[in-house]
Amino acid sequence: MSTAETDAQIINADMPDVPPQSPSKINLKDYKKPSFDVETVDLNIKLFEGFAQVDSTLKMVRQAAGDIVLFGEALELLAISMNGETLTAEQYQQDADKLTISNAPDEVVLEIQVRICPQTNTALEGLYMAGSGDDTMFVTQCEPEGFRKITFYPDRPDVLAIFTTRLEADKRYPTLLANGNLVESGELADAPDRHYAIWHDPTNKPSYLFACVVADLDVLTDSYTTSEGRDVKLEVYAKSADIDKCDVGMQALKDAMEWDEVNYGRPYDLDRYMIVAVSQFNMGAMENKGLNIFNTACVLSSPETTTDSRSFSVKAIIAHEYFHNWTGNRITCRDWFQLCLKEGFTVYRDQSFSADQQSRAVQRIDDVATLRAHQFAEDAGPLAHPVRPESFVEINNFYTTTVYEKGAEIVRMIANTLGPDDFRKGTDEYFRRYDGQAVTVEDFLSALSITDSKIENFIDWYRQPGTPVVSGHQSYDSAAQTITITLSQQTRRVSGFDAPKPLPIPVATALFDQDSGDIIAERILLLDQATQSFTFENVSSEPVVSLLRDFSAPVQLNYDYQDEDLAFLLKHETNGFNRWQVTQMLVNRILLQGQGLKSSPDVYLSALAQTLPELAIEDAMLAARLLDIPSAQELASAIHKDYDPALVKSQREGLYQLVADSLKDQWAALYKQLPMQSYEDSPEARGTRALRNVVLDMALTAKIEDAAVWAQQQYDNASCMTERFGALKVMVNHQVANADAYLADFYERFNGNDLVIDLWFSVQASADTVTADAIKSLIAHTDFDWNTPNRVRSVISAFTSQPTALWTAEGLSLYTGVIKKLDDANPVLASRLLQVLARWNTLAESHRQMAHDQLLELQQQVSSKHVLESLNSVLGAASE
């Protein structure tokens, strides 16, 4: 047994014998401000072999009647004093998750000493050890409630304080980082093999933004001069083997800093901005003030090891975390129910930044595809919740696409309703009013409504769950030369919530002349009643109507289109996103005929054949996206009962085969039109690579004789990971004769590079022919690591992309077994994996009863509040 495990046993043995309490639900309506505020925090974190000692000094001031309540979990309390006097056990009350002091004076200085064991912290919250051997490092993750695993503290987002942090460790960890600016460092006089660093953050921040790192890392440095003339030192820290993969992230950081100054007038406010790459991390990244902690998958990038999509995601996530400096850090959430306030606004900002880095149409396609595939499914199932939840047991369960992506869509609707100038006035007012405060959604809307009071009506989007369905038809009056568009909205009622009310839905609309294909009228129709009619005048002939342009609202559209109308729009729409949207409508009509939709594939195939050759030259990335067919998961979200995974897969593959066969004569010409060239990171080059990979897959599907050779040559001669992995993926999925040899080559070529080996795992776990036994073999592989979320997701999450394998007795037993295993070690990850099973109740009876039985069995085997809250909601679907 290791020293760390022994020390952990000692710590646990010394902790008070407190019976566990059943987790209680926390309600938004019960919010009360804390009795005491914290003005300053002095932390002294000393890291030793097997444990850490944390000394904290809190200067506190009363702001309301009540006790001092300090949250704390898995802490061994060594000492506590108030205003210089040691407190006895009778002077405070300690239970499993908090420490309470009654009858405290109005001004208090608390000194607390605790012992923790980061070496055995597998939950990856609070202070924990990541890696092993020479790669060992100690890092923090405090959002949402991880700081209470470091020391006792009023760990809530509306308590803002100024932090000074001293770190002490053995010199084998030369990198000692914390929030703010470095004020002092050196070695200990009485222990020359140890050293320390003191960091001071001059800005008030909540405890969830605290961060520290103790490690041995290399650093890439650069600088940026803000619009206010501040010289900011930029640093990206990573293992020495990865430091050459940090340039993309560094450039993205500088681009984001400039973009925020230009578009929002927000310069950076500290002298240093640091990013640290960590391999074992539950999240994508964390915006801790001045010291961002990043999952390696979200910061490391190089052409040889990173696909284009992942590299572009790195840029977006770097920007997202930087933008949080204002929308999340300087203005933060009053409580965790307001999570959408910082995340929705910041996602909208990073999407806007990304749109300026590539085709705006393609960026919008990416945003909406994610929303439809994941958030719409969430809204359609038992995990549906408002963008601002009304209650929770475990806030970690609400880091969802509803909070993030739907939250961003609400901000987008407001921005489009106001227009660029008034939206900028509103955001300037928001920053002016609330800088340095913890606020609510109502505060946000109040600031944005300074030029239009109706903006405050968007509050219902935050309160009401479910995806509205907008239906409509048109009526043309040739005598009056008017066209009237009648729209209605309906949202399903979610159990536990009031009946839905009409929401303000901006429907961007254009009228196209049927003869010329030109736009003859354009405007936003604000649908804010159950049913409304809108009339356009001076329309000389009946036009083709394009609705929900640029996806102006997060709704499902059910308009009385003819297939020929959609084919017309595919040809004449001036916006690339709208062209993609009509192809998706045509595809859904073909694939979801059992859900009341019906369409022949002929119009769709003809429209593709006419559009693709020219578009491949003009915009290769958009051409690749026009060939999108919704995933099996997205199609399943539209099926509300008797879902048969095998039938959906068969129908989807049948349409894909039909597209490949009908355009068979085009694939060879297109592939030759897209030759491999030396690597370039530009929108045009990324588009060429994306379309080449799609065409290669289509050619193999159409059984073109030379397609397998093309794939092998592309793999062998690849200039970047997008080309090599694209070729490997199609060879695996199409079971090309020597696919196993190429898999082996890929592994040997990149063995030791964790992120690339994640791809090696995922391409096998998501293969069209994957089975539960294949997943078991991957889990048994020596490189599989239960303690690394990236590796777990590369296998387990990839497996869910094949519902026909997941929704079998063997597949579901394996999947629930994974959740059970992770429930104790990493409940955050376990709960997120569980949520994939939310729509089990829509399965056909033969599958549904089996799924229900396995979920009930799992309910008896798990204990974390994270998993139990999600599981209870998932099982609640049985009663809906």
Closest CA to 266 of 81, 435, 496, 57: 435
Q: How far apart are CA 421 and CA 441, in angstroms?
A: 21
Backbone dihedral angles phi then psi of residue 124, each to the nearest 5 degrees: 60, 35
Confirm if 262 and 298 have CB atoms less than 8 A apart. no
Six token digits for residue 494: 């979610």
Q: How far apart are CA 383 and CA 877, in angstroms?
A: 9
- Classify each residue of 16-36 as buried b or exposed e, where b means 16 or more C-beta atoms within 10 Å of its C-beta: eeeeeeeeeebebeeeeebbb
Mean per-residue pLDDT over the chain, rounded: 95
Q: Is the pLDDT of residue 11 over 50?
A: no
Burial of 181 from C-beta contacts in 10 A (0-12 / 13-18 / 19+): middle
pLDDT value for 632: 87
**Which residues on neighbouring strands pair with residue 234, listed in sequence order?**
222, 273
Which of 332-341, 346-355, 589-598, 848-857 is least confident? 589-598
Confirm if 584 and 630 have CB atoms less than 8 A apart. yes
DSSP 374: I
Please give the single-letter amino acid code of residue 772. A
pLDDT value for 595: 56
Answer whether 0.75 is exceeded by the pTM: yes
Cα 407 to chain centroid distance, Å, stands at 12
Q: Is the pLDDT of residue 774 over 80?
A: yes
Question: How many other C-beta atoms lie within 10 A of the C-beta of residue 93?
Answer: 13
pLDDT value for 877: 62
Confirm if 156 and 858 have CB atoms less than 8 A apart. no
Confirm if 229 and 268 have CB atoms less than 8 A apart. no
> Percentage helix, strand, coil, to 5, in the chain?
45, 20, 30
Q: How far apart are CA 378 and CA 835, in angstroms?
A: 9
pLDDT value for 634: 86
Task: Please state the rounded mean pLDDT for residues 18-43.
Answer: 84
Active site residues: 321
Give the model's confidence band at 1: pLDDT under 50 very low, under 70 low, under 90 confident, else very high. Answer: very low
- Chain segment 461-512, per-residue pLDDT in tens: 999 999 999 999 999 999 999 999 999 999 999 999 999 999 999 999 999 9
Could you give the percent of the chain with pLDDT greater than 90? 94
Could you give the percent of the chain with pLDDT greater than 70? 96
Q: Is the pLDDT of residue 16 over 60?
A: no
**Which of helix, strand or coil describes residue 458?**
helix
Closest CA to 775 of 809, 807, 815: 815
Signed CA dihedral, 23, 29, 35, 41: sign only: positive
Task: Please state the rounded mean pLDDT for residues 250-266.
Answer: 98
Task: Please state the rounded mean pLDDT for residues 68-80.
Answer: 98
**Which of helix, strand or coil describes residue 306?**
coil
Torsion from C-alpha of 341, 342, 348, 349, nearest 10 degrees: 140
Cis peptide before 144 (omega within 30 of 0): yes
Six token digits for residue 227: 């619009």
pLDDT value for 843: 97
Backbone dihedral angles phi then psi of residue 418, each to the nearest 5 degrees: -75, -35
Q: Is the pLDDT of residue 337 over 80?
A: yes
Q: How far apart are CA 737 and CA 749, in angstroms?
A: 20
**Which residues on neighbouring strands pair with residue 100, listed in sequence order?**
69, 93
DSSP codes, 756-821: HHHHHHHHHHT-TT--HHHHHHHHTSTT--TT-HHHHIIIIIHHTT-HHHHTSHHHHHHHHHHHHH
Distances (CA, A) of 819 to 384, 578, 633, 872: 21, 40, 20, 14
pLDDT value for 691: 98
Q: How far apart are CA 746 and CA 764, in angstroms?
A: 12
Confirm if 760 and 743 have CB atoms less than 8 A apart. yes
Confirm if 513 and 476 have CB atoms less than 8 A apart. no
Q: How far apart are CA 400 and CA 150, in angstroms?
A: 26
- Chain segment 708-746, per-residue pLDDT in tens: 999 999 999 999 999 999 999 999 999 999 999 999 999
Give the model's confidence band at 600: pLDDT under 50 very low, under 70 low, under 90 confident, else very high. Answer: confident
Give the model's confidence band at 596: pLDDT under 50 very low, under 70 low, under 90 confident, else very high. Answer: low
Give the model's confidence band at 24: pLDDT under 50 very low, under 70 low, under 90 confident, else very high. Answer: confident
- Chain segment 521-574, per-residue pLDDT in tens: 999 999 999 999 999 999 999 999 999 999 999 999 999 999 999 999 999 999
pLDDT value for 312: 98
